[in-house]
Amino acid sequence: MKFSDMHLDSRTISALDSMNFVEPTEVQEKSLTPILAGEDVMVRSQTGTGKTAAFGIGLVEQIAASKGAKKGLVLAPTRELALQITKELRSIAAGHKFRVYAVYGGEEIGRQLALIARGFEIIVATPGRLIDHYKRKTLDLSVFNIVVLDEADRMLDMGFREDISKIMSAVNETRQTMLFSATLDRSVLDISRRYLQSPLLIELGEVGKKDDISEDVIKLPRREKFFKLTEILHQEPSSRVLIFVATQGATEYVGRKLRDQNISSDFLHGGMRQQKRERIMRDFHEGRFRVLVATDVASRGLHVDDVAHVINYDEARDSDTHLHRIGRTGRMGKKGKATTFIETDAFQQTRRMGRHPDSRGPRPVNRGFGNRPRQGRFGGRR
């Protein structure tokens, strides 16, 4: 099936062609029909599967069909992700000339007020800043009758449950709601029961591991980790690599040591100014350097489809974080590789204490429930 076979607006088709989107990915093919029919959907899909275009096409088509009577709201966990979603939605909506604005913390609120005052079709927002506008009465949330909760599990992990509840209580009661999440744990299911109306449940791929990613585990003493890292990077001189570490200090330590080895690299963490973080992510996306060292928080919203290798220099704190990390490679049908370092000296020391070396949580495990996509109704109420 091609997008041209899906009876989309010709302006949308033209925009997708210019983006080199010809055939829908699995998540797009499975979810677009119910989305275009105005149904609530709850989609479990890994990052890098094309989910932004799935809800983006749905938003643009619904608003176009309503001749502007409908307005869309997308909630995202971080400003970086909000900016990237905004960029993609603007591309999809280019032929319609829709006004798509990002509303997020860290930017002068006066500029956002000026944009909102001009009118809009779609707002992409982080929960905290949207609540600021709601409290100031500078944005009427009841105008939104299409709502997307993107990376719902991450928003809940970051403590936005109360903000989400306030927002969902303030948007239009007769809305259509779409929820996208890499995992469907109890907290996500609770949100869906509260705010989605009999959603169609679409589960894609395996929960534990993507088929396009090969994983290796290397056990070694802590003192040998950096040497092994440089060995791997020299073996893949042209690959784009994303390295995950546990702390802000570790990003700077590893990043600077890589530069000392003349490896084209940079580092990213949440303690940096927003402008610098955005520049580093843009430079990585544009290929100005090939190796990025980052913390989990700082990497949220990073959207680069051609990361060939993810290296867990420090182990993830839990299995869900591990899945999000390795989901940065093997995107859009491409093959990817993930390597995890496990410190043998830390393992021996902490095993005697009955704990895993990563004291923040258990070792990442794969939690597969089969490869077959599942669809079904999931009862709920608004």
Domains of the chain, each with CATH number or no CATH: 3-207+371-377 (3.40.50.300), 213-351 (3.40.50.300)
Nearest alpha-carbon partner for 78 in 157, 188, 135, 194: 157
- Here the tokens at position 302 are 């990073």
Which pLDDT tens digits describe the chain residue by residue (382 residues)?
A: 899 899 999 999 999 999 999 999 999 999 999 999 999 999 998 777 889 999 999 999 999 999 989 999 999 998 888 999 999 999 999 999 999 999 998 888 889 999 999 999 999 999 999 999 999 999 999 999 999 999 998 899 888 999 999 999 999 999 999 999 988 888 999 999 999 999 999 988 654 455 678 889 999 999 999 999 999 999 988 889 999 999 999 999 999 999 999 999 999 987 888 778 888 988 998 889 999 999 987 676 666 778 999 999 999 887 778 877 888 887 766 788 999 999 987 544 444 334 333 333 333 333 333 333 445 555 544 4
78-104 burial, b at 16+ Cβ within 10 Å, e below that, comes to bbbbbbbbbebbbbbbbbbebebbbbb
| 67 secondary structure, DSSP code | T
Which is nearest to 348 in space by CA: 220, 244, 217? 220
Distance CA 49, CA 330 (A): 9
Q: Are 325 and 293 in contact (CB under 8 A)?
A: no
DSSP character string of 85-123 = HHHHHHHHTGGGT--EEEE-TTS-HHHHHHHHHH--SEE
H-type alpha helices, the chain: 10-18, 26-36, 51-65, 79-92, 109-118, 127-136, 152-157, 161-170, 186-195, 225-235, 248-260, 274-285, 296-299, 319-326, 344-351
Q: What is the pLDDT of residue 138?
A: 94
Residue 197: what are its φ and ψ, rounded to 5°? Answer: -105, 110
Compute the distance between CA of residue 3 and CA of residue 376 in angstroms, rounded to an integer: 24
Contact in structure between 234 and 309 (CB atoms under 8 Å): no
Q: Let me know if 234 is exposed, middle or buried by CB neighbors in 10 A (0-12, 13-18, 19+).
A: exposed
- Burial bucket for residue 12 (CB in 10 Å: 0-12, 13-18, 19+): buried
Cα gap 317→354, rounded to integer Å: 16
pTM of the model: 0.68
Smallest CA-to-CA distance from 167 within 208, 198, 201, 126 is with 126
Tell me which H or E stretch contains 342.
strand 336-343
Say how many C-beta atoms besides its own lie within 10 A of residue 169's C-beta. 12
